[in-house]
Structure 1
Amino acid sequence: MSKESEKPKVLPGWANFAIGGLSGMLANCVVQPADLTKTRMQLLGTKSKATVVDVAKGILAKEGFLGFYTGLSAALFRQATYTTGRLGCFNATMDYYKGLYGTPSFAAKIGIGMVSGGIGAFIGTPAEVALIRMTADGRLPPEQRRNYKHVFDALARITREEGVTTLWRGAVATVTRAMIVNGAQLATYAQAREMLLPSMGDGLPLHFVSSMISGFVTSAASLPPDIVKTRIQNASKSASQMAVLTSIIKNEGVLALWSGFIPTYAKIGPHTVFTFIFLEQLQTLFFKYMM
């Protein structure tokens, strides 16, 4: 066997981005109800004492089953921008790093994940703002609802009614959260997969266990900046991260920063599982039919 044939297959740069984005979009279709429930809980705060079941029942009673998919177009558009950027950058950079230096350390994985997440988040902030607005609409009184028809209507109206810079409201908070999320999620998943591979072998059980470990760590690390980001983006007036953070702790208590942990973990864990399952299957198909 020649040295050339022994080299591991590497996806072209553009394919890393395309497959990464498509994987995130497919996974989001599965976890959208949990994500919407999480957002509604974060906006309610802890004073409502509403449980995950209470919030879910309220959505079902007032908006019907399709209410769980409110804002799906924005969620998919967010995946098409944010996840395309973050997974594309992460996988392409990992391939480049391995080619130069070999397998990256855990610290290097965290660094690559944080940079990739920051880039993807900045690109995806407009979709994030539209998603938060659309998923929050159902809990508002009818006269206060924005009633965006779809993500592009939301983007157009926000630009026309509030100015184009509003599309990047909370961009700093979004990028901060994304760097934490991706530093935790992608690095933890890659490290857990690498460590468990010798004992478990490659396959669905390995992907599932690695994803759930990654999801737990990511949920705990990302919730505080995620809640701050959500409050900023849904507010009618701009506010700094520190002002919002201080207000939450003062008025609702420090534990409010982890409000919605269960639906967050219920979303991030399966989303990671499905994202990487779709990712690896799409990569397999690409290698089989395109290379």
Structure 2
Amino acid sequence: MAGEKDKPKVPKPRQIPKYMNFIIGGTSGMMAISLVQPADLLKTRMQLLGPAGKNMTFIQVARDIVKKEGVLGFYVGLSAALLRQATYGTGRLGCFNAMFDWHKANRGVPNFPTKIVMGMIAGAFGAWIGTPAEVALIRMTADGRLPPEKKRNYKNDNARRRHINIMEGAGATVSRAMVVNGAQLGSYSQAREMLLPFMYDGLPLHAASAMIAGFITTVASLPVDIVKTRVQNAADKSTGQLQVLRSVIKNEGFMTLWSGLMPTYAKIGPMTILIFVFLEQLNKLYFKVTS
């Protein structure tokens, strides 16, 4: 007993305060979207092509953007994208952490299926509070493809206040967020588990797992994403998700639901990696500054 008393106490590892997790999480998302915004804009433009442009490739769409709007056209809607990360990203992180901490304190560490459900709930919550920025982002990125007489010329995030119901398409946005969070969490964990025997636990493993998860998430979520985009950009505000889905399949074909697959994957894969890289670096910076 005396020997146990003489043992030096091992200091508990430092933890980042909960409020800083919100700040760092949101900041990481904003930094990541700043780099992948061109791919996101390209994806949105392809989803809005309609029957007349269903045979256009993402390279052709990209050339059309450069021709009509210049290179800076790829960053149209960046302010709304940043606002979306500040709301959706932060809300999702906060909600998931709150549920995880409650479950751990009352019922123990959650199992894998429970984490998936928690991720879906957190994604739905984050998407709901992030819908105004999401709608503004869709409208701003879509505005550039319109003829001059029909453009609304949105500036910064004032698209939230002009011609827009800020909760437009909230149901579609939440549906997509639930699919994305469920697919991303499940596939990332499974890919990481399968690759771990062949790779050491470090950045290469995380990057490879994220790219696999990104592709699976893209395939699973793109139909919901396209419906969401069409609902939010529809002229008739009473247009519902099922109505848009039937219209797309009937008029443009079933495979149109995966229009913009490569640009979407080009965003989701690197976006996942960048968020975790920035998150880790910001965590280290916090400990360095506060030490």
* TM more than 0.5: yes
* Partner SS, residue 255 of structure 2: helix
After TM superposition, the structure 1 stretch with the greater mean CA deviation from structure 2, 82-91 or 270-279, is: 82-91
The one-letter code of the counterpart of 1:24 is: G
Task: Please give the per-residue CA displacement for 1:169-195, whole angstroms capped at 9, x wherever unaligned.
Answer: 100000000011111123433454456
Following TM superposition, by how much is the alpha carbon of 1:112 offset from its aligned partner in structure 2, in angstroms? 1.3
Q: Is residue 208 from structure 1 mapped to residue 207 from structure 2 by the alignment?
A: yes
Map 1:97-108 → 2, pairs under 5 A: 97-98=103-104, 103-108=109-114
Q: Where does the alignment leave 5 or more consecutive residues of structure 1 unmatched?
A: none
Match of 1:268 in 2: 268
Q: What CA deviation, in whole Å up to 9, does each residue of 1:211-240 have, x standing for no partner?
A: 111101110111011000100101122211
Aligned equivalent of 1:12: 17
Structure-1 separation of matches of 2:51 and 2:259: 7
Deviation track 1:81-140 (CA, whole Å, cap 9, x = no partner) reads 111111232345445544555553321221111011001000000001100000001110
CA distance in 2, matches of 1:215, 1:84: 20
Larger Cα-atom Rg = 2
Distance verdict in 2 for CA 1:194–1:283, change over 3 Å:
farther
Number of matched residues? 283
Q: Relative to structure 1, is the Cα distance of residues 139 and 100 closer, same or farther in structure 2, using a 3 angstrom cutoff?
A: same
Structure 1 counterpart of 2:201, which letter?
D
Q: Which residue of 2 aligns with 1:40?
A: 45
> Which letter does structure 1 place at the counterpart of 2:92?
R
| C-alpha spacing 1:3/1:132, structure 2 compared with 1 (3 Å) | farther
Change (3 A) 1:181 1:256: same
Q: Name the CA distance, whole Å, in 2 between partners of 1:9 and 1:96.
A: 20
Change (3 A) 1:202 1:96: farther
The one-letter amino acid of 2:145's match is R
Structure number with the higher helix fraction is: 1
Hey, what does 1:77 align to over in structure 2?
83
The 3 A distance-change label for structure 1 pair 234 and 288 is same
Q: Is the 8 A contact 1:21 1:80 kept in 2?
A: yes
* C-alpha separation in 2, matches of 1:287 and 1:274: 20
1:19/1:197 CA distance change after superposition, 3 Å? farther
User: What secondary structure, in the 3-state scheme, does the structure 2 residue paired with 1:146 have?
Assistant: coil
**1:275-290 residue pairs with structure 2 within 5 A?**
275-290=275-290
Answering whether residue 171 of structure 2 is matched by residue 169 of structure 1, we say no
Look up the match of 1:222: 221
The percent identity for this pair of structures is 63
- Tell me, in whole angstroms, the C-alpha distance in 1 between the residues paired with 2:240 and 2:10: 54
Taking a change above 3 Å as real, the CA distance of residues 16 and 96 of structure 1, as seen in their structure-2 partners, is farther
Q: What is the match of residue 125 of structure 1?
A: 131
Separation in 2 of the partners of 1:116 and 1:105? 16
Aligned-residue Cα RMSD (Å) equals: 2.1
CA 1:108–1:57: 2 relative to 1, 3 Å = same
Give distance in 2, aligned partners of 1:190 and 1:3: 34
1:24–1:275 Cα contact (<8 Å) kept:
yes
Indicate the SS of the match to 1:201: coil
Given that residues 23 and 279 in structure 1 are in contact (C-alpha distance below 8 angstroms), is that contact kept between their aligned partners in structure 2? yes
Shift of 1:45: 3.3
